Amino acid sequence: MAEKMRVEPDLDFIRYMKSAGGDTLKKCYQCATCSVVCPLSSDKKPFPRKEMIWAQWGLKDKLIADPDVMLCHQCGDCTTNCPRGAKPGDVLGAIRAYAYIHFGFPQGIAKLASKGQNLPIMILIPAIIIGVMWALSGGMHIPAEGPVDFGRFFGHWDIHYLSKNVMFIDLIFVPTFFFALYAAFSGVSAMWTQMAAGLNANQAFRPSVIQFIMQFLWPSIVETIQHKRFNECGTNKNRVTGHLPLLLAFVGLLTVTAYSFIRKDIFGIFNPALHGPIALYDPFKILANVSAIAMIVGVGILWSNRSAAEEKKGISPTFYDWFLIGEIMAVGVTGLLAEIFRLINVPVLAYLFYFLHLVSVFMLFFYMPYTKFAHMVYRTFAMAFERYRSSEFVKN
């Protein structure tokens, strides 16, 4: 006899999907056109047709434990070819947005970052933290005339081993970074546990940490950087021109940040002169400026693509999509403007944009595990899970 399944729809989940871009869900009448055109689909896994059924039934638990939802990179082929205008790509995006909240830790911040009406509070939190730290540092003043030196933004002291500015930057951003790292790890771990529960695998036969990294995680990271699956897109193939420079810009800025940390926090102990600003001709400074421009260009392309999609294809604007675009643009623009006004020696505007830059960078890290930015982490681990579920660890 066929196994019976009790359907208990989660109405809150359905309402959230509709508010996050999945408002066309009910138009789907299961023609399977989406599964025909999707490169992720197979005979055994008719993606995203089965997900559209589960979404219509409100089967939240099945959807958030489905790795295929995270593997989708919203190429747009299913939405373009849907004869009913059901927009499966947007529905899947809404499911992912819900998953980041569901797996988010702590839940209070995850829910805060999920609604546009909370944006003023989301901005106010880092603004207050950085403002208070600026006041406590004793450096809260804007010089009447230059030269502008962001290395003294939080003041100065004569301690040889660590500059006051570096210490306050570390006090703000190092805990923020590790908080975001732990929150992302917590969310991904919860997702992996639910996905693994659906496998008929011998849980005693697991890969070691080294095996997991080398066989599953690292190949997934390489594939993400290469944008291999993006190149398979038909409708939204031009997204590569936005995503790739953006990804490379983040790699470049991460490299510069690591260099700055090593230079100022480690070698600066022995040579206090290294606490000062990095020279414009320094290769890492050049990399920072090129990466900032690439970031602005990349997010500008995504901004243009999203606006065109909403205007021409009737896609609903959502906070989930626009927050990340606006946040990355804020990081790039405020950083570039702060440097420009520093170079032309306009202290008031230089310090203003530097403060806004610190706030926007804080927001990028702090809210990363709960916004669309989290897709970078969740999708990478879903790709690792895709390799894992077809490996000998599961087959045996």
3-state secondary structure the chain: CCCCCCCCCCHHHHHHHHHCCCCCHHHCCCCCHHHHHCCCCCCCCCCCHHHHHHHHHCCHHHHHCCHHHHHCCCCCHHHHHCCCCCCHHHHHHHHHHHHHHHHCCCHHHHHHCCCHHHHHHHHHHHHHHHHHHHHHHCCCCCCCCCCCCHHHCCCCCCCCCCCHHHHHHHHHHHHHHHHHHHHHHHHHHHHHHHHHCCCCCCCCCCCCHHHHHHHHHHHHHHHHHHCCCHHHCCCCHHHHHHHHHHHHHHHHHHHHHHHHHHHHHHHHHCCHHHHCCCCCCCHHHHHHHHHHHHHHHHHHHHHHHHHHHHHHCCCCCCHHHHHHHHHHHHHHHHHHHHHHHHHCCCHHHHHHHHHHHHHHHHHHHHCHHHCHHHHHHHHHHHHHHHHHHCCHHHHC
pLDDT confidence of residue 1: 45
The pLDDT, as a whole number, for residue 262 is 86
* pLDDT at 233 exceeding the cut of 70: no
Average pLDDT over the chain reads: 86
pLDDT at 188: 95
What pLDDT is stored for residue 369 in this prediction? 94
> Once rounded to an integer, what is the mean pLDDT over residues 1-26?
73
What is the average pLDDT across 221-237? 72
The answer to whether residue 9 scores a pLDDT higher than 90 is no
**134-159 average pLDDT score:** 84
Mean pLDDT confidence for 280-299 = 89
| pLDDT digit string, tens, across residues 111-124 | 999 889 999 999 99
In this prediction, residue 136 has a pLDDT band, given cuts at 50, 70 and 90, of very high
Check residue 237 and give its pLDDT. Answer: 62
Q: What is the mean pLDDT of residues 55-84?
A: 86
| pLDDT recorded at residue 230 | 67
What average pLDDT does the segment 129-156 reach? 87
Query: Is the per-residue pLDDT at 219 higher than 70?
Result: yes
pTM to 2 decimals? 0.86
**Bigger pLDDT: 187 or 10?**
187
